[in-house]
Amino acid sequence: MRRIGMLLIVSALLGTSLLDPTGFSTAQTAVTAKPDYALKQAQRELAMLDDLYKTSIVLITTHYVEGKDSLPAGSALRKLFDTMKEKKWHDVHLLDGTGDPYNPENTPKEGFEKRAMARLLSGESKVEEVVQESGKRYLLGATAIPVVMDKCVVCHQVYADVAKGKAIGALSYKIPVQEIDSTR
């Protein structure tokens, strides 16, 4: 009886089950699976870029948007987005979630962007997927853009009746997952 009690304690500590005929458990599998450091780094990069871009939009709007003749913050950021893509750092662009885009180029594309926008409009704050293209992995991410200030309405009258904090669009990212060479 003592031996069975000890086996149960050891089994619980190891995360195994005496009733599992394979002898493997989720805990054992998780221990043997290698952490995906490259993906974690891409996710960290996405979070940092999202903070940077959204802070920039708010700062530009706060300090430089005075009226309809002002350069919209989104237009200024598009130039930055284009530069990042040209230099092959990452791809990012604005997505409209209202169905009435300020710029037709902001319409979500089929696939990830449409799926992500639907989830963001239903209340999620971030959506991620990993894809493989031409033998390379990419992290696709989309983060909600909520209405955060009254000045948003200067350029976007369509947001006049939208409650602050409600998502009206997204930033969509495509970030290369830089594989780490563990043989060095």
Percent of the chain with pLDDT over 90: 47
What DSSP letter does each residue of 26-83 carry, written as one string? Answer: HHHHHHHSPP-HHHHHHHHHHHHHHHHHHHHHHHHHHHH--STTSPPHHHHHHHHHHH
Contacts of 32 (CB under 8 A, 6+ apart): none
CA distance 6 to 118: 51
Instruction: Supply the pTM of this predicted model.
Output: 0.75
CA distance 6 to 15: 14
CA distance 144 to 131: 21
64 in Cβ contact with 71 (< 8 Å): yes
* Local confidence band at 182 (pLDDT 50, 70, 90 cut-offs): low
**Span of 10-14, 108-112, 167-171, 178-182 with lowest mean pLDDT:** 10-14
CA distance 78 to 63: 18
pLDDT at residue 178 tops 70: yes
Q: Would you state the pLDDT for residue 63? A: 85
> What domains does the chain contain, in order, with CATH numbers?
1-33 (no CATH), 35-176 (3.30.450)
**Environment class of 73 (CB within 10 Å of its CB; exposed 0-12, middle 13-18, buried 19+):** buried
CA distance 9 to 28: 16
* Local confidence band at 31 (pLDDT 50, 70, 90 cut-offs): low
Summarize the confidence of residues 15-40 as an average pLDDT: 59
Summarize the confidence of residues 5-26 as an average pLDDT: 42
174 in Cβ contact with 136 (< 8 Å): no
Per the prediction, the chain carries an average pLDDT of 81
Residue 103 has what DSSP assignment?
A: S
